[in-house]
Amino acid sequence: MRIIDIKDAKKHLSRLVEEAANGDPFIIAKAGVPLVKVVAFTASAQPAKRRLGFMIPPDGNARPG
């Protein structure tokens, strides 16, 4: 995996991000010390379920107390 100095990453950020998005991750280092790994973002295949009406019992029969 490529290690790129932070100064070079600043100069070429657009190109580097495009390459990472296409499957070529890299590491950004400062003074030779690795700081971050840049990889392509992949969204979750299945979004989290939202629970509406969580105060209503599972059987759906909301009766006033």
Q: What is the pLDDT of residue 36?
A: 96
12 is a domain residue: yes
Amino acid at 48: A
What is the total count of domains within the chain? 1
- Domain with 33 in it: 2-38
User: Measuring CA to CA, how many Å separate 65 from each of 39, 54, 61?
Assistant: 53, 17, 12
54 is a domain residue: no
Which CATH number fits the domain that encloses residue 17?
Answer: 3.40.1620.10
The DSSP output letter for 3 is: E
Reported pTM? 0.64
pLDDT tens digits, 16-59: 999 999 999 999 999 999 999 999 998 766 666 766 666 666 66
- pLDDT at residue 6 tops 70: yes
Instruction: State which H helix or E strand residue 6 sits in.
Output: helix 6-11
